[in-house]
């Protein structure tokens, strides 16, 4: 189980459990998205306080569940829901590709809805008390 979680998050060593718990406690599962319920910035993206700095919640989620974001990359919300931190709705793309990527969003998103079911079940297994 621990191995499985490490493989899925890729960042277990650098994250304290309390940060993971705090992060997930500021989210709720909707029909396919995992929405941020904490502070939002002026653009409607979630903010998460981590090690005395504020980070973008969707970027934090990507690093928590998927892995490190390469330098210069932006995290694209394929579902177009800025509050969404569902890792299966997030794609790491270089800035110049972000607009082009948006044009392919609909096709990619159809596939990602399937993996959203997996993400929700992984999320539920990680913190079952959050599923109400």
| Residue 58 beta carbon to Zn ion: minimum distance, rounded to whole angstroms | 9
Nearer Cβ to Zn ion, position 12 or 108? 108
Residue 2 tokens read as 């621990």
| Residue 81 beta carbon to Zn ion: minimum distance, rounded to whole angstroms | 5
> What's the CA angle centered on 74, arms 5 and 52, to 5 degrees?
65
Contacts of 7 (CB under 8 A, 6+ apart): none
How many whole angstroms separate alpha carbon 104 and alpha carbon 50? 32
Nearer Cβ to Zn ion, position 75 or 84? 84
- Interaction mask 66-105, Zn ion, x per CB under 5 A: -------------x-x--x-x--x----------------
| Residue 128 beta carbon to Zn ion: minimum distance, rounded to whole angstroms | 21
Sign of the four-CA dihedral 113, 121, 23, 40 = positive
Cβ distance 5 to 126 under 8 Å?
yes
- Binds Zn ion by CB under 5 A, chosen from 9, 23, 27, 33: 33
| Residue 16 beta carbon to Zn ion: minimum distance, rounded to whole angstroms | 26
Positions touching Zn ion (CB under 5 A) are 33, 79, 81, 84, 86, 89
């Amino acid at each position: 189980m621990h191995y499985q979680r490490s493989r899925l998050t890729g960042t277990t060593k650098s994250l304290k459990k309390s940060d993971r718990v705090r992060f997930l406690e500021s989210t709720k599962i909707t029909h396919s998205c995992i929405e941020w319920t904490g502070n939002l910035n002026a653009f409607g993206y979630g903010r998460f306080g981590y090690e005395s700095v504020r980070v973008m919640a969707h970027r934090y989620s990507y690093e928590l569940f998927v892995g490190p974001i390469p330098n210069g990359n932006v995290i694209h919300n394929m579902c177009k829901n800025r509050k969404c931190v569902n890792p299966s709705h997030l794609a790491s793309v270089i800035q110049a590709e972000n607009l082009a990527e948006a044009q392919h969003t609909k096709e990619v998103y159809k596939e990602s809805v399937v993996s959203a079911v997996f993400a929700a079940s992984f999320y539920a297994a990680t913190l079952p008390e959050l599923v109400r």
